[in-house]
Amino acid sequence: MNRRRLLQHSTVLLAAAPLAGCTGQLQTFAGWPQARQAVQDLLLAEKVVASNPWNLSQVLQHLAQSIEFSMQGFPVLKGAWFRATLGAAAFGVFNARGAMSHSLDEPIPGAPALDASQALKASVDRLLAAMDAFAQFNATLRPHFAYGELTKPQYERAHLMHLANHWTQFHAKTAVA
C-alpha cells in the first residue's frame, strides 16, 4: 500500500473514531436465537427505558424499522462519499470492537414516526417478524443509510450490535408501592 493510500485510510479511521464512541460495552447477543429470546422475554418482564424520550414500544419499533429497511431500502441515505468512507470506517470500528455506540434517541432518517401508544405486544411481534424475515431473506440487501453496502453476515452483526446497544438502556420495571 502506498503512503498516500495509507494516509487516506488512516484519516478516515481517525475521523470515524468519534462515531464509534468509547463505551467499551460488550456485545450482548451472539446470534438471532439469543436476540429473539431477549425480545420475547420483554413480554414476561417488561423493562423501562432510561435516558430516552422513547418508551419501550417505540425503541422496539425503531429496531424493527432498522431490520426492515435493510431488506426494503432506507428512506434517506447519507451521501455516497460518506457511506464509502466515514460510514464504512465507523462500521469497521464497531465490528472490530463487537459493540456499537450511537445516539439512542435518534430516529432513522426519513423513517415514519414511532407510535408512543402502540401496545408492547404489537411492537414485540413486529420486531420478531422483522428478525424472522431477515433470517429467511435471500435477495439483495439494501445499503445501510450510513454504513453503505453490507453483506448479510455484516448486516446481521450490525443488527445484533444495534439491539445490544439499545438493551443497555433497559432496566427492570419496579413496582410502585
Would the pTM of this model clear 0.75, i.e. be above it? yes
**Residue 6 pLDDT > 90:** no
C-alpha cell at 35: 436476540
What lies within 8 Å, CB to CB, of 18 at 6+ separation is none
C-alpha cell at 111: 423513517
- Mean of all residue pLDDT scores within the chain: 86
pLDDT at 30: 86
DSSP 172: E
pLDDT at 51: 86
Give the other-Cβ count within 10 Å of 40's Cβ.
13
Residue pLDDT, tens place only, 16-59: 433 333 343 444 788 999 999 999 999 998 789 988 899 999 99
Q: Where are the domains of the chain?
A: 3-172
Answer for the pair 69, 137: CB distance below 8 angstroms, yes or no: no
Residues 106, 111, 112, 118, Cα dihedral to 10°: -50
As a whole number of angstroms, the distance between CA 167 and CA 46 comes to 12
> What average pLDDT does the segment 103-129 reach?
97
Collapsing DSSP states into helix, strand and coil, what is residue 148?
strand
